Amino acid sequence: MNAQDYIASGNLELFVYGTLSEAENKEIIAAMEKYPEVKEEVEKIEATLKLLAEEVAPPVSTNVWDSINTKIFSSKVKRLETDKTTNWSAIIGWAASVLLLIGLFWMFNQNASLQNELVENQKENQELLEKIISTEESLAETESLLNILRDKDIKAINLPGHAPVAPEAFAKVFYNQNTQTVHLDARGLPEPPEGMVYQVWSLKMDPLTPTSIGLLDDFVTIENKVFVLQDIPESEGFGITLEPAGGSTTPTLEQLYTLGVI
């Protein structure tokens, strides 16, 4: 084999890595002595492997590199001057491999740590964004509600608790006869028992005529306890009773919680 055959064979890389047999190592050493270009190619491979280890491994002190360089240089001189069986190329290959593995392990840990931090930051940013959106929506709803309640056509009616049933209960109705709309503030009502629902009634007083205007089905889930009821008939008063789920056709007076007149 000539010099180019050795270079193209791929055995020079295996020689540097220390994976050839003893006979193959001797053949490469002989080729390096015979062909300067083969020796130069081996040195290039060793330099490239060293550079790769430096790029991926944690910083190594100058003293450590000097020690490694000294050992590498010494081993190369001895390898060329003697035919001893000590496989210095294997030692060099394993040393470089260890440095490479250390560097890759360090980089893997750094990348894993950075990825975890990135996931946590993204989660925190998402939660913060959701809070900001929720706050903005709440402010917008509050401003819209205030504008409605400030309307000159709004009539505010207090609905105090019915003493025999719920003396501590209370509610407030904001009634706009022109738009046939009621905004009901029900914060003063206790949470209804399971299987029961609050039903709101529009009242005509003479004769007393109750008309159902809505159920507060989502009483538990609505945080501000403000409910909007539409298509309200002409009313002279309002009442709230506790009814079985689904509501009733007529109010259960034994469960009258609040009552108020205009």
Checking if the pLDDT of 138 tops 90, the result is no
**Among residues 150, 179, 212, which one ends one of the domains?**
150
Arithmetic mean of pLDDT, 124-130: 68
Residues 122, 227 within the same domain: no
Residues 44, 75 within the same domain: yes
Residues 135, 22 within the same domain: yes
Which range in 36-45, 87-96, 161-170 is most confidently predicted, on average pLDDT?
161-170
b/e map 95-106, b = 16+ CB within 10 Å? bbeebbeebeee
**Among residues 103, 119, 150, which one ends one of the domains?**
150
CB 162 within 8 A of CB 169: yes
pLDDT tens column, 180-232: 999 999 999 999 999 999 999 999 988 889 999 999 999 999 888 989 999 99
Give me the number of domains the chain comprises.
2
Residues 119, 204 within the same domain: no
Where are the strands (E) in 96-216, listed by range? Answer: 154-160, 170-176, 181-185, 196-205, 208-215
At 34, list the tokens.
């015979």
**Among residues 150, 180, 203, which one ends one of the domains?**
150
CB 190 within 8 A of CB 167: no
CA dist 141 and 147 (Å) reads 10
Residues 8, 95 within the same domain: yes
Q: Which domain holds residue 185?
A: 154-261
pLDDT tens column, 49-106: 666 655 555 555 555 555 555 555 454 444 444 444 455 555 666 666 666 667 666 7
What is the domain-level CATH number for residue 249?
Answer: 2.60.40
Residues 213, 233 within the same domain: yes
Residues 76, 166 within the same domain: no
At 103, list the tokens.
């560097």
